[in-house]
Structure 1
Amino acid sequence: MEIFTLPLTLILILCIITFTQSAPMFLGKYAKKPNKLSYKYETKHFTQRLDHFSFHDSGSFSQRFLINTNNWVGAKRKGPIFMYCGNEGDIEWFASNSGFLWDIAPRFGAMLLFPEHRYYGESMPYGSKEEAYKDKNTLSYLTAEQAIADYSVLLRELKRNFSAEGCPVVLFGGSYGGMLAAWMRLKYPHLTVGALASSAPILQFEDIVPPETFYNIVSNNFRRESTSCFNTIKESLDMLQSMGENADGLKQLAKTFHLCGELKTAQDLSDWLSSAYSYLAMVNYPYPSDFLMSLPGHPIREVCRRMDSAADGTSVLDRIFNGVSVYYNYSGGVDCFELDDDPHGMSGWQWQACTEMVMPMSSDPDQSMFPTFNFNHTYEQDRCMSLYGVKPRGSWITTEFGGHDFKTTWKNSGSNIIFANGLLDPWSGGSVLQNVSESLVALVTEEGAHHLDLRASTPNDPDWLVQQRTSEIRLIKGWIDDYNQETSSAFVM
């Protein structure tokens, strides 16, 4: 983070040097590149308006979407359409890691649809990422509202083309995609029969949840495995800044952590490590996975084992390197590490976080292993002005979609949404963890991590995960059955 380029007062700069931590991107800019999608699909493109909310012609762009009709029973039999709301990255990555949809499509006779989020993957306005990301004017159409409108327009046109106007649609999404699925269900209820919003931190805005929630959950994931591991991490993060105060210290840190180039600031290394801890908490799955990185089952357990089992006399920072290598180099094929990488093209999230996706974060000195910090609105405004020439609108999301007093407002205005969360996931603290009504349902598992339920079933699935998916299938079937019954009755009348 280039803190010295920002137009801040000297006092604010000194505060930020102590420790700066904003919310990590939902998935992970250091994640591995995806393999070719193993599921069968067709790749298609649809011409979308650049601005759905103005009658001025602002142009158009080509939106990529993946579609599979192999199991669809057709329009005459009201075969359902399962649509995944694309996240902040390449749509093939999300499709390949949403095996739950592929698993249940045959039993429902469903069509699968994976539209890509505008400004991500290949769905770039203005013809290229360079042009689309050029400045605040070209980026101004990168919003959740525009993305949901894209999905709605595409869905209506696709149903028309397939003569499937009478077919029920169920939305799916994980993380930011889960937020989009829930918001689309709330904003456009006439287009769908329900939504599964998995690991969707839909309440992580303004003052709805305590700002320290995310990092407390990350910290508790490590503490529950090993108190000494927790303490080692906490001590190391406090050590980095003092070592980084001179060139010799930076050189030593670069050597200890096997960096490919020179280390400019200790904060860069601290961010790299903190990102790993956050993402490890998100993908703390009970079996091996390769969603973000190639990782073992219970990866935090393995991180702490490597830290705690180091030989007597091993330094704190060497223990940290041993542990963090589980995340960044579990396969052992990396010789040195780059601190800045974006294999999934997720850099657009920084714009979204500087405009409407303002998620306040802080670190609690009593509960967190991270250095103490508070969310600083002035710093965020200055940072975003420096990057894009815009100021964040921290209250816009709750104005547009709600969130305050959601138990009353959504109960009266919403229906048929599953909020699925695992309490190991640090984003669960910003999601809905209790039933809002009979049809706005919270499914919560103690051992679940980031949208684990959306991943493909495996022989290693624990019983609680099997039961969670069984509950989701039952609810989805109920939505579809109710829709078919109601539409059949209406037709008879």
Structure 2
Amino acid sequence: MCNYLLSTMCLALCVASITAAFSHPDLIAQRFRGGTVYRQAFEKHHQLMRDNSIYFNTTANTFQQLLNHSDANGPTFTQRYWIDHSAYNGSGLALLYINGEAPASSSPTGYGAQYGHSKGALMFTLENRYYGDSMPSPLTDFDSLSKYLSVDIALEDLRSFMTYAENSIIGKKMRWLIVGGSYSGALSAWFKQKYPNAVLAAWSSSGVVKAQFNFYDYDGHVGAVLPPVCREAIQNVLQIFEEMWDNTTLRPQLRAKFNIPDYFLKQDVSYMLADAAAGAVQYGMKWQLCDLIVPQNETDPLSQYNNMINFLWGVDFSSGCYYSTMCLANKSMSQFWPGAGYAWLYQTCSQMAYFQVGYSAGVRLADVSTDYFVQQCRGAFGPTIFPDVYAFNAKYGGLTPYASNVIALQGADDPWSTTGVRTSLGVNYPAVIADCEDCGHCGDLMTPSDTDPVSLQQQRVQIANYLDIWLSSQPSNYTMVLTGNFTFIRNDTVARDGILNAVQEDIRAAIDQSVIVTSVASGSLIVHFVLEINQLNSPIVNSNIATSAASSSWLSNTLVAFTSFGGSGGFEISSISPGNVPLPVAPAENAMCGTGCVVGIVIGTVAVVVLVVAVFNIVRKRRSAASDEPVNQERNTLLE
């Protein structure tokens, strides 16, 4: 057993004997990229790419993306993307990889690229706005951030890019698969919800779909998967830190030991120290972490812990801007913001929170509180910023997104998995967990290795099986007829759209989330809708349609819309059947014909008579000309 004191060589030898289930390096947050964890993941990933001859392209392309998607003629910004057509076989299949909360660098890599190549897909990577070089404005422009950085806008960017790719790069419509990990894993699921028929399937790796205000479960999960002796070693270090910090005489010694700048608050340091341990669990390195801090050095446990930080995360980790309230709030320090994930900080402060708060007997101290994070957000972005996670989850579904043909992937050790789908939501929204030691964040996207844990290998097999089925889905048309008085939508586009959206929401809930309503017609309401049928959902869809056709009680949103727009008398389901029943021609609003109506009829009749006479004269003249033609031909012959 190594003595864990000061020797970096000793640390390396200890860690080298352990095989880790690496996270994909692109999904390791920037603040965690300075040490051995990122270096090992990067080297392993690219070695496996070379061994498996998996091509990827590092040359960036750009296009002009709308700044505001509600203004088609408004200003644009330059957004980066990468394309890999090396395996494209004309299949009509395209894979879009959403790069996460960091700069992008290439076309898809890892298992995503391997699967895409096996299907002959054309593959793209899109860099999110405000990350990397896809910058609508400087990060210091808070007004622009508040207007143009949100989940909804990111989803609109993706849809806009698909349209651009089809129109300007490929020249035809494509069948799309969308892929992402972590935040982008959530985006892939939310995209399938917002645009259910724009993609055939979504691959949601460690997708953080539930916004969390007080994210107690993060530390709770870290503590639960760590061996008790390892967890106690971390807690002991934090206790010693607190005692030394509160002693103004010892505080300078503490700062010097961890290379902590003078402007760091106590909560900043507490957060950093706990995150150093939690990050190791998140990225599938908990046993490496434990080997570095257990057995604990009784003489100098802080130096031992600092050696662990430097080894795993790099010597600049403990002084990074990400953990400093003052740095994040100070525009004069903005040169350090990109590496601190500043855009991601804004998104958490404005929408999703994910505040990793501490609690008594937890991994991090209780002073890393809700108030700490709220004040940090307000210091950086102004006093009014606040993430309404309740409204956000109501819109996107929280742990039950309103989507289908989505596969949710989790790693058993990943503390973020508590914000993701861990229980299958139906045959077309399965949750598959890699239940293995050190199976962490986005491990399924990593380039496969023969030494991967069996559970991780089986997870990837299920990914391919589900995607194969969904990518072969076929659109099927259906018609639903509701008897009732819907004439009020005939000349009221607001009412018509409201009824359409309400009907769509009800059908998705009752029949299948892939439904999109394509048209409605008034009188009795005729609804045309399309859904994606595959071997998984076909029996269920048929059963749901039969059940739904028997009663209209499930059309609750439709009833609310019907009543609010002035409908009366209620409605009933007449039928739900395959195919498209032709939409009826709207009848006249009033069967009685007044003076204006009579005048119109007279004028119309006169016009028809005049037209008939004109046609008769034209036909007569043509026949006369045709009868003269032989005479003229004969005359011409004689003259010759």
Q: Is TM (by shorter chain) over 0.5?
A: yes
Aligned 8 A contact 2:257 2:303 in 1: yes
Larger helix share, 1 or 2: 2
Measure how far apart 1:166 and its partner are: 4.1
After superposition, residues 226-375 of structure 1 pair within 5 angstroms as: 227-257=228-258, 259=259, 264-284=264-284, 299-309=285-295, 313-329=298-314, 334=315, 338-340=319-321, 344=339, 346-366=341-361, 368-372=362-366
Measure how far apart 1:321 and its partner are: 2.3
Question: 1:372–1:383: structure 2 CA closer, same or farther, 3 Å change rule?
Answer: closer
Instruction: Provide the residue aligned with 1:3 in structure 2.
Output: none
Q: Determine if the alignment matches structure 1 residue 431 to structure 2 residue 448.
A: no
Q: Determine if the alignment matches structure 1 residue 72 to structure 2 residue 67.
A: no
Instruction: Provide the residue aligned with 2:61 in structure 1.
Output: 44
Q: Distance in 2 between matches of 1:63 and 1:339?
A: 28
Instruction: Provide the residue aligned with 1:60 in structure 2.
Output: 76
Question: 1:172–1:350: structure 2 CA closer, same or farther, 3 Å change rule?
Answer: same
- TM-score of the aligned structures, taking structure 1 as reference length: 0.77
Instruction: Provide the residue aligned with 2:379 in structure 1.
Output: 386
Instruction: Provide the residue aligned with 1:29 in structure 2.
Output: 31
Larger deviation, residues 167-176 vs 228-237: 228-237
Question: 1:300–1:163: structure 2 CA closer, same or farther, 3 Å change rule?
Answer: closer
For these two proteins, the number of residue pairs brought into alignment is: 422
Amino acid at match of 2:457: V
Q: Determine if the alignment matches structure 1 residue 461 to structure 2 residue 442.
A: no
TM-superposition CA deviations, 1:134-188 (whole Å, max 9, x none): 2234542011111110110110121123456443111111000101100001101
Measure how far apart 1:472 and its partner are: 0.2
Select the residue among 136, 143, 148 that pairs with 1:125.
136
Select the residue among 211, 215, 219 that pairs with 2:223.
219
Aligned 8 A contact 1:101 1:112 in 2: no
Measure how far apart 1:364 and its partner are: 4.2
Measure how far apart 1:262 and its partner are: 5.1
Q: Distance in 1 between matches of 2:103 and 2:445?
A: 17
Question: 1:142–1:473: structure 2 CA closer, same or farther, 3 Å change rule?
Answer: same
Percent of aligned pairs sharing the same letter:
22
TM-superposition CA deviations, 1:242-274 (whole Å, max 9, x none): 3123554222113333x2755754433322222
Select the residue among 171, 175, 200 that pairs with 2:178.
171
Select the residue among 180, 183, 193 that pairs with 1:186.
193
Measure how far apart 1:358 and its partner are: 2.0
Question: 1:375–1:307: structure 2 CA closer, same or farther, 3 Å change rule?
Answer: closer
Instruction: Provide the residue aligned with 2:463 in structure 1.
Output: 472
Q: Distance in 1 between matches of 2:189 and 2:465?
A: 18
Q: Distance in 1 between matches of 2:145 and 2:459?
A: 42
Aligned 8 A contact 2:83 2:123 in 1: yes
Aligned 8 A contact 1:85 1:114 in 2: yes
Aligned 8 A contact 2:179 2:185 in 1: yes
Measure how far apart 1:41 and its partner are: 4.5
Larger radius of gyration: 2
Aligned 8 A contact 1:215 1:370 in 2: yes
Question: 1:261–1:369: structure 2 CA closer, same or farther, 3 Å change rule?
Answer: closer
Q: Distance in 1 between matches of 2:104 and 2:430?
A: 27
Q: Distance in 1 between matches of 2:158 and 2:293?
A: 46
What SS does the aligned partner of 2:409 have? strand
TM-superposition CA deviations, 1:227-255 (whole Å, max 9, x none): 22211211221222231235542221133
Amino acid at match of 1:213: D
Instruction: Provide the residue aligned with 1:161 in structure 2.
Output: 168
Amino acid at match of 2:100: N
Q: Distance in 2 between matches of 1:156 and 1:315?
A: 59
Measure how far apart 1:327 and its partner are: 1.5
Q: Distance in 2 between matches of 1:335 and 1:425?
A: 24
Question: 1:392–1:53: structure 2 CA closer, same or farther, 3 Å change rule?
Answer: farther
Instruction: Provide the residue aligned with 2:159 in structure 1.
Output: 152
Question: 1:310–1:435: structure 2 CA closer, same or farther, 3 Å change rule?
Answer: closer
TM-superposition CA deviations, 1:61-114 (whole Å, max 9, x none): 01100111111112xx32x11111222110127x57x41112122210011111
Question: 1:140–1:321: structure 2 CA closer, same or farther, 3 Å change rule?
Answer: same
Amino acid at match of 2:56: Y
What SS does the aligned partner of 1:458 have? coil
Q: Distance in 1 between matches of 2:268 and 2:67?
A: 36
Amino acid at match of 1:136: D
State the structure with bigger RCO (CA 8 A, min sep 6), 1 or 2.
Answer: 1
What SS does the aligned partner of 1:91 have? coil
Q: Distance in 1 between matches of 2:270 and 2:205?
A: 29
Aligned 8 A contact 1:204 1:360 in 2: no
Instruction: Provide the residue aligned with 1:445 in structure 2.
Output: 434
Measure how far apart 1:192 and its partner are: 0.2
Amino acid at match of 1:430: T
Aligned 8 A contact 1:204 1:431 in 2: no
Q: Distance in 2 between matches of 1:325 and 1:386?
A: 29
- TM-score of the aligned structures, taking structure 2 as reference length: 0.60
Amino acid at match of 2:286: I
Q: Distance in 1 between matches of 2:256 and 2:378?
A: 35
